[in-house]
Structure formats: structure tokens, C-alpha cells
Structure 1
């Protein structure tokens, strides 16, 4: 076991930026309005399981289906890009059947443990010890759970205008993450 505080903090900050749960508050509130109930605990646990599983077998799964990490990252960049466009422009590109409840889809995957998060986990694995990344995942999941649980309160405090501003600001941040993810990985493909 090689626990290193600096690695845990750095990995936590990277995951925090990519998961961007605060930027997702407007999406979560909108989902809560549509389906009435969000299973915060279930969504958090499933997201944590997906992230830890991907930490250990992500590359093997991608190898099995013939996809390299860089292709996965570029695909993740496109998904994040379109999510950011939705947030910034206030439009809806993704049409889904009305979900019965919001927990595994779309909250655990792809909102929390989406392509960007999974790609980041693979990138972190190349640099840091696994146990430090697991601690970083747990720290982020606890924060995600607290935000999911108090999303209605956060929504009331911020109001519609506050949520709109936060959504646009985090949309721009998400757009920047998408561009960086794309730029970092596109060179490796050619």
C-alpha cells in the first residue's frame, strides 16, 4: 500500500473537475422535476462501482472490443462537448424516453461515471498508485451523494437565475475539458 496525500488530492481534484457535480445541479433538478424522485444512494454506489471496476479492467474491456484508450477519450470528448453545448445554449440535443426514476441512468452513468470520468481514471492510473485513485473516487462519491441529496435545497437557494448562470459557467468549463481531452488524445490516433 503506497498512500500519498499529494496523489490523493491531485486525483481527487481531477475527478472533481471532470465529474463536475456542481455544474450538473441544474440537470439533476430538472430530472427531479420530471421523474419526481432521485435515488441518491443507489446512483452514488453504482457510479462508484463503475469507476472502481473501470480502474481495474477498463483497458482490458477496451482491448477486448478493439478500442484503444485514445479513441475512447476522443469519443468521451464529443459526449462532453455536446453536454456543454446543451448547458451553454440552453437547448436539448439528447432526447430520451421519460425515465421512471433517476438513478443508474442518466445519473450514475453517464452523468457521474461518464466517458470523461472513465478516461480520466485510465489517465490517472498511468501516473498514480491504484489505492490513491480509489481514495480519490470515494472522496468524490461522498461529495456527489451530498450534492444529490441536497439538490432541491441548492436549487431553492440559487433560484432559476442562479442555476442558469451556474449552468452556463460550468458549461464553458465542461467545453474546455472536452477540448483539452480531444486535443490531448487526437494526436495519438494518427
Structure 2
């Protein structure tokens, strides 16, 4: 039996079938906002469950893309400039999956208004507003930006979401080629 008042109470509650709340450490709590989006330490081990949809591997990604799925790369960019015509000036090339579309500012835990507009406008264009279109979301291995984006797509109402949690590295490790990718152009949305 438990010793001390707290363990004894927890044991009694567990035996009674009451759910137990396991508080996050202070450091862990600072990594998430109140709505569950990861807001810090984006390059860290990710969960083995998707926040929505399901996890897929490289071979499934290839099959889904062959059936018309949108491959959505959300590897983040912190340093960039945007031209008057909506093009992106980036400091270095980005290698990604052939046929993927790169939205480099939509995976952060908290989006500015123009970033949310960019995500919404881009997805509407890329899916033809079909909320049942298959979307495969990825970034890099151990990257929470894709996890956040999957959560965001689910909240927006997309029903066929796949999380390729291994991302670009898992694709290359499976023997597939990578290609240089430019960010998808901005439409009406602009950073302020």
C-alpha cells in the first residue's frame, strides 16, 4: 500500500476508477500553448501518434501521391524576404520530395494573421476547396512543425490527413530522390 497522504489519495482515486491528472513539468508546459500547439523546441522527438489523421511511411506517401494526394512540406523558415509579386527570397535551397508544395511559415505554434491567411488561401487553391482531398504533411525528422500543421488542418475540417513524421530524411533514407523546392507564392496575404 502507498505511504504518505498524496500517494494514498492517488491510489484510492485509481481504485475508485477516477481519472488521474498528471501535471506537466513547468518546462514541458512552456512548450505548448493552451490549445495544444507546440510553441517551443520544435526540433525534438515527436509522439508516435498523430494529433489527427494517421502516420504514414515513405512507401505509403509515394502511393498516396500517386493517387493525387497533396504533399505539404512545412519545413520552417525564419529568415526570408517576400517580393511584391508574392515570391520568396530564401537564404539557401531547400531539398524536398518531388511534387511537394512548400509552405514555410505555417507550422509554428502561434501564427500571425498573414501566416494563417497564407495557409488558408494556399490550401484552398491547392485542394480546390475539397476538404476531403488527401493531404500528406511533413517536415524533417523530429520536427513539431508538421505535427502542428496536422492539428491545424484537422481544426480547419480536412478529413483525409496523413502525417509523414519522418519527413525529408525518412524519404531520402528510403532511397528516394530529393529535389530543390521554392516556397509556394503568397496570394493576398502579406506580412505586416
TM-score category by the smaller chain? Answer: under 0.3
**Higher RCO (C-alpha 8 Å, min separation 6):** 1
Higher helix share: 1
- So what's the TM-score if we normalise by structure 2? 0.27
Higher strand share: 2
